[in-house]
Structure 1
Amino acid sequence: MPRSDEFATVDGFEMHYSAWGDPSDPPVLCVHGLSRNGRDFDPLARALEEDYYVVCPDMPGRGWSEWADDPAERYTNTAMIEILVGLCDELGFESLRYVGTSMGGGLGMALAAGPLADRIGDLVINDMPPNPETDAAPEALGRIMEYVPNPPTVETMSELEAYFRDLYEGRFSEMSDAEYRRLTMTSARRTEDGQIAPHYDPRILVADEESEDDPDPWDVWAAIDASILILRGIDSDILPEEPFERMQEVQPDAETVEIDCAHAPALNTPEQIDPIEAFFAG
């Protein structure tokens, strides 16, 4: 079945998602990184759609999902966890497989150890440690803090494609010219004055209010009972080697795949997609 664009209202908030495959097949939920959107999973979804119903939402403030009136409320991890639970409820997902890239991986850990612990059977974490604030390299966090709140506004799509190439080449796993063109076309929006900008709200970079009752992220990781597959870019500065090894020590049954790239594997080649297919089939 061809990809379809769908919308669901969750807690009064309109969510857009790409849907692939037959809704009667076992569901796979794919959640993207911080400033990305659900179309990043097109290659993976295309490979899985014969056997699964693949749902790839745009998280709030990204893609075609609604932008928040109050970013400090809607864009926190806590709020995004709640909206993913609501989306699964809305779609009737009683059990599911989950793929999360970067931020989506962090949300997946929280869901698999918490509100969706009884529903997520297979969990794929794509290049994300349990606690990026302490596990990631400082320069990686600095890079994110610099570019995410300051997306460019340009005159042409060619300029936007050049921006994405400069931002992602040498970090994402290798992509063809056609793949960069697709990424650009699915990551662009027109501004009020007719210019072009990346398809996300510049205000998405917010933090949850800290509480003494918040669990340690590594305790969350340890609490996950789902089967786990970890993908890591060998040169990743978001998931360096030390926390990657610790993740395996804490979850010794987790399967791992390392890809020759930085942050993050784009899930666009057989060497990245085949292990996910085999993991889900196992």
Structure 2
Amino acid sequence: MDLIGPTSQTFISQRTRLHYADWGNHDAPPLILLHGGRDHCRSWDWAAEELRADWHVICPDQRGHGDSAWNENGYYPTIGYVYDLAQLIHQLELAPVTIVAHSMGGNVSIRYAGLYPENVRKLVAIEGLGPSPERLEELRSTPFYTHWTDWIDQKREASSRLPKRYPTFETALDRMHEANSYLSREQARHLTTHAVIRNEDGTFSWKFDPHLHAWPPDDWTQDQLHLIWGRITCPTRMIYGNDSWASNPVKDGRIAHFGDNVSVSDYDRAGHWVHHDRFDDFMAEVKAFIA
């Protein structure tokens, strides 16, 4: 008999207890579904339900998100997430693994696939390349020390206030729905159910660490990223929504840094959350690609 839902499991990475949802079927090929920033592993439930019959689906909560622990210092560099993904794959002996990932999760997965190309069988990244070349040019016009003082100000702001509290679940649900108008009310309700905790006073707050708003400015250089992108050897599909803020790499030129194994598709009537906004079409594409 199929399980009603996934089991909750944990692993340790960087002395931190991290959570993942395991959808069973352990004899099937492994498939990681990795969420984006300020999201959680249960946002993949609809996809996992459709994929669990053919795959051993594992959906991690990235550190500072969902039911994974927060960093005590509130410092979340991208390489820390890459290390966590590497540890999950190493500890559970998943390589070669197939990965489908969204936004920040896509960024993390692309970097992992470039560091360990032999460990990734196939990769789907939904809007996972980070800031566009145009945005990066804007950032470069600001002195590096200003980026750091801005980050310090953001950290102080995050440390000086409590997580936002919503008086009722419905008000938190309204905020979730406002953030993505493409969602149905029931989709937004499911996402909100797994995104909030109930405080002692009966109010609701998001599970993610407020310090995630303060993105540290230290990272790999663009030249280093381009080198990593060129090291990816597995078949890779990058997916974009035409109504999203994210820049399509075919249109902005970044596709030139990838090999012939990388292709791009895009969707009308979809924003940043293509896997929610165009779920049926997205699933048909992903199932065919990773088969």
By relative contact order (CA 8 Å, sep 6+), the higher-ranking structure is 1
Q: Please, which moves more after superposition, 268-277 or 56-65?
A: 268-277
- Residue 66 of structure 2 aligns to a residue whose secondary structure is coil
Give, in whole Å, the separation in 1 of the partners of 2:287 and 2:253.
Answer: 24
Q: Which residue of 1 aligns with 2:174?
A: 162
The residue that corresponds to 2:107 in the other structure is 106
Residues 25/208 of structure 1: CA separation in 2 closer, same or farther (3 Å cut): farther
1:18-45 per-residue CA deviation (whole Å, 9 max, x = no partner) reads 1113112111111111110111111111
Deviation at 1:221, TM superposition (A): 1.6
1:37 and 2:40 matched: yes
CA distance in 2, matches of 1:32, 1:159: 23
Find the counterpart in structure 2 of residue 120 from structure 1. Answer: 120
- Residue 69 of structure 1 and its aligned partner are, at CA, apart by 0.7
Aligned to 1:142: none
Cα distance between partner residues in 2 of 1:264 and 1:136? 20
Report if aligned partners of 2:249, 2:255 keep a CA contact under 8 Å in 1.
no
Output one character per residue of 1:186-225: Cα deviation in whole Å (capped at 9) or x when no partner.
Answer: 111123543211120001233263577x853222222211
Trace 1:198-217 onto structure 2 (pairs within 5 A).
Answer: 198-204=206-212, 205-207=214-216, 209-210=218-219, 215-217=223-225
- Are positions 1:16 and 2:19 aligned together? yes
Partner residue in 1 for 2:66: 63
The offset of 1:161, in angstroms, is 0.5
Distance 1:28 1:251 in 2: 23
- Higher gyration radius (CA): 2
- Conservation of the 8 A alpha-carbon contact between 1:21 and 1:51: no
Task: Check the 8 A contact 1:76/1:206 in 2, yes or no.
Answer: yes
Match of 2:78 in 1: 77
TM-score, normalised relative to structure 2: 0.82
Q: Distance in 2 between matches of 1:44 and 1:244?
A: 29
Distance across 2 between alignment mates of 1:219 and 1:263: 26
The answer (yes or no) to whether the contact 1:21–1:50 under 8 Å persists in 2 is no
Matches within 5 A, 1:145-184: 152-169=164-181, 174-184=182-192
Q: 1:253 to 1:95 in 2, by over 3 A?
A: closer
Aligned residue runs from structure 1 range 86-97, under 5 A: 86-97=87-98
CA contact (8 A) 1:71 1:203 kept: yes
Q: Check the 8 A contact 2:133/2:252 in 1, yes or no.
A: no
Distance (whole Å) between structure 2 residues aligned to residue 153 and residue 67 of structure 1? 18
Distance across 2 between alignment mates of 1:135 and 1:99: 26
Unaligned runs of 5+ in 1: 140-144
Q: How far apart are 1:137 and its partner, in Å?
A: 8.8
Q: CA deviation at 1:252?
A: 3.5
Match of 1:132 in 2: 131
Match of 2:142 in 1: none
Indicate the SS of the match to 1:277. Answer: helix
Change (3 A) 1:275 1:136: farther
Q: Which runs of 5+ in 2 are unaligned?
A: 139-150
TM-score by structure 1 length? Answer: 0.84
Question: For residues 198 and 128 of structure 1, what CA distance do their matches in structure 2 show?
Answer: 23
2:51 to 44, 48, 51: 48
Q: Percent identity over the alignment?
A: 22
For residues 51-77 of structure 1, give each alpha carbon's deviation from its aligned partner in whole angstroms, at most 9, with x where no partner exists.
1111111001111001111222xx211
Structure 2 CA distance for aligned equivalents of residues 135 and 48 of structure 1: 37
RMSD: 2.6
Candidates 264, 269, 272, aligned match of 2:282: 272
Which amino acid in structure 1 is aligned with residue 95 of structure 2? E
1:222 and 1:62 map into 2 onto residues whose CA distance is 30
Q: Distance in 2 between matches of 1:272 and 1:34?
A: 20
- Secondary structure, counterpart of 2:70 in structure 1: coil
| Separation (CA, whole Å) in 2 of partners of 1:137 and 1:176 | 34
**Cα distance in 2 between the residues matched to 1:137 and 1:263:** 19
**Which position in structure 1 is the counterpart of 2:143?**
none
